[in-house]
Amino acid sequence: MTDLTQLEAELSARTAAASDLAALEAIRVEALGKTGSISELLKTLGKLSPEERREQGPKINGLRDAVAAAIAAKKAALETAELEAKLAAERVDLTLPAPPERRGRVHPTMQVLDEMIAIFAEMGFDLAEGPDIEDDFHNFTALNFPPKHPAREMHDTFWLPEDAHGERKVLRTHTSPVQVRVMQRLNEKLPAWIANGPPGANGQPPIRVMVPGRVYRSDSDATHTPMFHQMEGLVIDKNIHMGHLKWTLETFTRRFFETDAVVTRFRPHHFPFTEPSCEMDVQCDRSGGSIKIGQGADWLEILGGGMVHPTVLANCGLDPDVWQGFAFGLGIDRLGALKYGMPDLRDMFAADTRWLEHYGFSAFQAPNSATGLS
Ligand code: DAH
């Protein structure tokens, strides 16, 4: 017959010594589990005579209750100790400095775009946008590039595969197709007053709009990237002439470079969609390895422009004998690189966050004409 006193002493000693919940659970299973030592003792009761059972029953049941109570008490103690250890280890030290926060930077192209918008908006220009995937008509034909004309090749165009109608769309090579969409008033992204025309004018000009956007050409070196950003300008009204174009661009350039010392020069040029056409240069100094605007005796071409060709006006449904206008196109990234001294245009789109950390802008530096552009 098992010595109940000894069994109880042994179990209570082991229970007291259990150092964690797993060890305690092992003791419980060993004693009180289905085939545990105390459970086996309980099973023997059925085989005893009534007298023996009367004597042994209360003892064994008492042993079971005592062991179960000891284990439960030890379990509660171990759980409390475990929680306390966890709380001590995980205590939050509110005096520690907060970890540095990673802040995003505004990409220079977007900053420069905002600067340009601030300048042209103050001159009364509205904003319009057009699609990046353009059809041949808007990108070339309406702009007076005749079919098969070599000028189409000059743009290093990315052609898309033929669609179901046998048409090959293009990634637009310039923002000029949006001129056509604005004049046709066929673009879903036109501001309402351009789309519908000013009240009472039946959708007729005047138009005064700037068009920023991505453009694409198969070209890549330090001053060319396959995707870049252009800003197109378009003004259509009665009695518009080259003088308006010259004033607008000179004023823009001085404000953009934030100095009245900027000297500009207009050279005759050729674009199919303007007549006469010009390129505008700014005077600069290239002597010191970097380009400085507003000093020196060198010239740097920064944009193209001209008077909208009568054929283009007619292609867009405007009577060239009534309406005239000027247009211009400039490279947003290129002007930004010039203003903020970035040597290689390809870095702009390499998605290197170190570059962005260095050349990027704080989101709080929102350019506007009241507080300054940069
Ligand atoms: N679309 C021309 C280009 O990408 C730039 C340009 C030149 C736009 C003259 C114009 C313009 O609106 O009048 O090279």
Cβ–ligand 1 contact at 327 (below 6 Å): yes
Which is higher by pLDDT, 108 or 190? 108
Tell me how far apart the alpha carbons of residues 169 and 174 are, in angstroms, rounded to a whole number.
14
Which parts of the chain fold into alpha helices (H)? 4-17, 21-32, 37-44, 50-89, 108-122, 136-139, 150-154, 176-184, 192-196, 242-257, 310-315, 332-340, 353-359
Residue 100 has a CB neighbour count (10 Å cut-off) of 6
Backbone angles phi and psi of 96, in degrees to 5: -70, 145
Contact predicate 205/237, CB 8 Å: yes
201 has pLDDT over 60: no
Q: What is the pLDDT of residue 198?
A: 62
CA-closest residue to ligand 1 atom 12? 328
Cβ–ligand 1 contact at 229 (below 6 Å): no
Cβ–ligand 1 contact at 329 (below 6 Å): yes
Pairing of strands 274-285, 298-308: antiparallel
Cβ–ligand 1 contact at 331 (below 6 Å): no
Most trustworthy range by pLDDT among 95-104, 145-154, 177-186, 262-271: 262-271
Cβ–ligand 1 contact at 182 (below 6 Å): no
The secondary structure of residue 359, as a DSSP letter, is H
Q: Which pair of structure tokens corresponds to residue 251? A: 């004023």
> pLDDT category, 200, cuts 50, 70, 90?
low
Cα dihedral sign, 363-368-370-374: positive
Cβ–ligand 1 contact at 309 (below 6 Å): no
Q: What is the pTM of this model?
A: 0.73
C-alpha angle 200-117-296 in degrees, rounded to nearest 5? 130
Nearest atom (ligand 1) to Cα of 232:
12
Q: What is the pLDDT of residue 199?
A: 56
202 has pLDDT over 60: no
β partners of residue 235: 208, 326
Average pLDDT of the residues in 65-90: 93
Average pLDDT of the residues in 140-157: 83
Cα 290 to middle of ligand 1, angstroms: 26
The contacts of residue 332 (CB under 8 Å, 6+ apart) are 109, 112, 113, 116, 212, 228, 229, 230, 231
End-to-end CA distance of the chain: 96
Closest to 292 measured CA to CA, from 306, 282, 281: 282
Amino acid at 52: E
Choose one of 271, 278, 311, 324 to mutate for the ligand 1 pocket test, by most ligand atoms within 8 angstroms of C-beta.
Answer: 271
